[in-house]
Amino acid sequence: MERNSFLDFLDGYEHVRTESGRIAATGKRFFSRSYSGTMTQGKQKVAEMKIFKLGSLISRLLSYTSAKAYGAAMLAFGLLSLIISFLKDYGTGLGAVDTVTLVVCLLISGFAVPLLFFEEPLSRFLQDFVVTDYIFFEFFCIKRIPEREGARGIPTPVAVLLGILCALPCIAVEPWLMAAIIAAVTVLYLSLTSPEFAFFFSVLILPYLSFVPNSEWALSVLVAVGVLSFLKKAALGKRVIYFEQYDLLIGLLVITVMLSGIFLKGISSFAGALLFTVMSFGYFLAGNIISNRRLADCALSAVAFSAVIPSAVSIISFIRCCVTENVNAALQNGYKSTFSSTEELAAFLIVSIVFCTALLKQSHGKRRVLYLLVLIVLLSALVLSGEYLAYLSLLLGIGAYFALKAGALSALILPLLVVLPYLFLLIPSGLLDSLVALLPMNSDLPPSELLSLWGASFSAFFDNIFLGIGIGADSFAEEMAGYGISGAASSNNLFIELGLEAGVFALLIFLLLLAVRLRHRARYHSYVKNSQLSTTSPITSVAIFCLIAYGMNHYIWASADSFYLFFLVFGVGSAALRVTKRERDERILYYEHTKRVHSAAVDIELS
């Protein structure tokens, strides 16, 4: 046995000397282990308890309830809520129902009317239409129900009664709030029945979290429910959990962050660390749910298409500004659309543009035209965001895509591409500030102030090197006040901020995580390019690279949704790489590249 370094262990291979005298790789410690159907007899008895049987009964009733019954319940809720709101407003002397209540009640009632004409179960009704069948059962992967003679659902009179009961709280709360609560309960129910639904739905709502109260905690609840649903199905043998080197490293990263959150800066730091922990399960969901090319394409499509409406909002806002003011003034604005900041929008658009490019590359005919139009809309919104470093990150991403084709050399080329823009910092600060001021885009800090912020952040990092200063913007602001920095929410650098908040061990683990991913991409590129996921696998690495490049001058984990997006992309890439290695009857072909020998192949059979 030779040349088995720690990275070789993380790589999943042992190296041995072949009969020809050269070093080759074997698969005795392969890349991942899988777990499924691990329930003991005792746990299975727990699963058969009355409460679980009751849950199963309710699920069957809801599945086989007719479209007519659902329509009757919706109509009863919509009309009674409207009547209650009218009586409330009339009694208080307002004389008119507010517009939001009126629109919500009329929409619910309007959607209910067509359902009244169909006696078949709602789930079967949705399967009969191409669009709804694709959305609910192909895209969201909700299980189709079989036809069963004598299967009973909720009777229509009972459904009407339930609609009335749901409307009664509108006496105390607004109907739109009650409708939102019902919708949230429905989403959680579907997430419990289908972890795939939780995953894809979480992607689709990322651009709209700024409109949700306590959005970070709402997203964390959805992610947690999705994880619990997946674990339950894996325990029953209906899903497979893959444990890989990435899981180990992300787990260690979470532990170091939690230590900083628990022991430093009180409850606000702990809350930030807890959010960090839950959002990191975005990797778990993406990495385990995606098991074939169809699901990988669905993940790419979800990210790309979820950015279309926010991009359209930015374009419309720009056009309105051009009409009311002038083009020059409109170009100076940074359009954040539905996001909380232009930085969050830019990070999301970077991933969306990269994924849309992948979909464009592997599509044909009308689909290619569609993806091309979407790509143009996304690029336009990115330009209007005014985040010029996001443009630079995408340009570097083009170089990264071609660097990944260089095999082992990509391990050297990609880090060089990340630090390439910082050669501009060698220019005298006064001249650099003047050059940046000429750009017709908004920028957060002049280079001189950015360097000053980084200098203070480095000093704070070395003063708190082991556990860091605590998690979150409040911890950063409190600590940096002692270094003469005020008004800054972060150090504007992903690596500096991670090390500063969680300590040097968190930073080293994160760097090792990126090194392992880069090593995998460099070593496995030869069989990836012959895979059905030959586009998905490298393009996720490009997306990660672009986020890292953008994170060199922005703290891209400042919000929970951006952090979730990063590990979601990381999980998609991990799953795509794993699928490529299991495509042909659970066998892969590994090509070893050296300077002396062009290539040699070793078949590796997975256990």
Distance between CA atoms of residues 79 and 85, nearest Å = 10
- pLDDT surpassing 60 at residue 46: no
Secondary structure tally for the chain: helices H, strands E: 28, 6
Strand, coil or helix: 238? coil
Distances (CA, A) of 361 to 348, 369, 371, 595: 20, 11, 9, 32
CA–CA–CA angle 3, 5, 9 (5° rounding):
115
Among 66-75, 202-211, 577-586, which stretch is predicted with the lowest mean pLDDT? 577-586
- Which region among 296-305, 538-547, 555-564, 592-601 has the lowest average model confidence (pLDDT)? 592-601
* 158 or 232, higher pLDDT: 158
Q: What integer pLDDT is reported at residue 77 of this predicted model?
A: 94
Task: State the Rg of the chain over Cα.
Answer: 27
- Residues 591 and 600: beta-carbon distance below 8 Å: yes
pLDDT band of 527, cuts 50, 70, 90: low
359-376 mean pLDDT: 91
pLDDT over 60 at 349, yes or no: yes
d(C-alpha 194, C-alpha 538), whole Å: 28
- The pLDDT-based confidence of 42 (bands split at 50, 70, 90) is low
pLDDT tens, 560-604? 888 999 999 999 988 888 877 665 434 433 333 333 333 322 222
Nearest to 492 by CA among 460, 461, 463, 449: 449
The H or E element spanning position 508 is helix 504-528
pLDDT band at 8 (very low <50, low <70, confident <90, very high): low
**The pLDDT of residue 543:** 93
**Own/partner pairs, 482-485, CB within 8 angstroms, 24+ separation:** 483/456, 483/459, 484/456, 485/452, 485/453, 485/456
For residue 587, what pLDDT is reported?
Answer: 41
The three-class DSSP label of residue 264 is coil
pLDDT single digits (tens) 102-160: 888 999 999 999 999 988 888 888 888 888 888 888 888 887 777 776 678 889 999 99
- Assess contact for 77 and 108: CB atoms under 8 A: yes
pLDDT bracket for residue 226 (50, 70, 90): very high
Collapse the DSSP code of 249 into the 3-class scheme (helix H, G, I; strand E, B; otherwise coil) and give the result: helix
Query: What is the pLDDT averaged over residues 269-293?
Result: 89
Determine which of 1-15, 65-79, 271-285, 487-501 has the lowest per-residue pLDDT on average. Answer: 1-15
User: Is residue 85 within 8 Å of 101, Cβ to Cβ?
Assistant: yes
Angle between helices 266-279 and 473-480 (to 10 degrees): 140
Whether residue 229 is predicted with pLDDT greater than 80 in this model: the reply is yes
Once rounded to an integer, what is the mean pLDDT over residues 287-301?
A: 88
* Helix H or strand E encompassing 374: helix 365-385
pLDDT-derived band at 510 (thresholds 50, 70, 90) equals: very high
Pick from 342-356, 512-526, 553-567, 586-600: least confident: 586-600
Mean pLDDT of the chain: 80
Contact status, residue 550 vs residue 493, Cβ threshold 8 Å? no
Task: Determine the average pLDDT of the residues in 378-401.
Answer: 88
Per residue in 302-346, pLDDT (tens digit) is 999 999 999 999 999 989 888 888 777 777 777 888 998 889 999
Q: What is the pLDDT of residues 170-190, one digit of tens each?
A: 888 888 899 999 999 999 999
State the Cα angle at 512 between 506 and 518, rounded to 5°.
Answer: 140
Residue keyed to tokens 């200098």: 455
CA 225 to CA 218: how far, in whole Å? 11
**What does the alpha-carbon distance between residue 506 and residue 259 come to, in Å, rounded to a whole number?**
10
Three-state secondary structure call for residue 559? coil
> Quick one: pLDDT at residue 162?
94
Three-state DSSP class for residue 243: strand
Q: Is the pLDDT of residue 536 over 60?
A: yes
| Contact between residue 509 and residue 468 where contact means Cβ atoms under 8 Å apart | no
Question: What's residue 268's pLDDT?
Answer: 76
Most confident by average pLDDT, 28-37, 350-359, 547-556: 350-359
Rounded percentage of the chain residues whose pLDDT exceeds 70: 76
Domain segments of the chain as ranges: 6-31+587-605, 54-190, 245-580
Residues 229/191, Cβ–Cβ less than 8 Å: yes
Q: How far apart are CA 12 and CA 243, in angstroms?
A: 12
**Per-residue confidence (pLDDT) for residue 130, from 0 to 100:** 83
550, two tokens? 């953008």
Tokens of 308: 């279309």
Q: Which residue has the higher pLDDT, 193 or 264?
A: 193
Q: In terms of DSSP bridges, do strands 14-17 and 23-26 run parallel, antiparallel, or are they unpaired?
A: antiparallel
Query: CA–CA distance from 425 to each of 58, 433, 457 (Å)?
Result: 63, 10, 17
pLDDT at 603: 28
- What pLDDT is attached to residue 605? 28
Tell me the two tokens of residue 349.
């658009």
| Segments of 140-293 assigned E as strands | 241-244
For residues 352-356, average pLDDT: 95
pLDDT at 553 (0 to 100): 84
Residue 283: name the closest of 565, 607, 596, 599 by CA: 565
Q: How many CB atoms lie within 10 A of CB 238?
A: 12
Q: Degrees (nearest 5) of the Cα angle 94, 100, 101?
A: 65
E strands, 339-430, in order: none
pLDDT band at residue 254 under the 50/70/90 scheme: very high
Q: What is the DSSP string of 9-57?
A: HHHT-EEEE-TTS-EEEE-TT-SEEEE-----HHHHHHHTSHHHHHHHH
Share of the chain above pLDDT 90, in %: 33
Strand ranges in 477-530 using DSSP code E only, listed in sequence order: none
The reported pTM is: 0.84
- Among 163-167, 374-378, 505-509, 513-517, where is mean pLDDT lowest? 513-517
Query: Strand, coil or helix: what is 597?
Result: coil
- DSSP annotation of 138: I
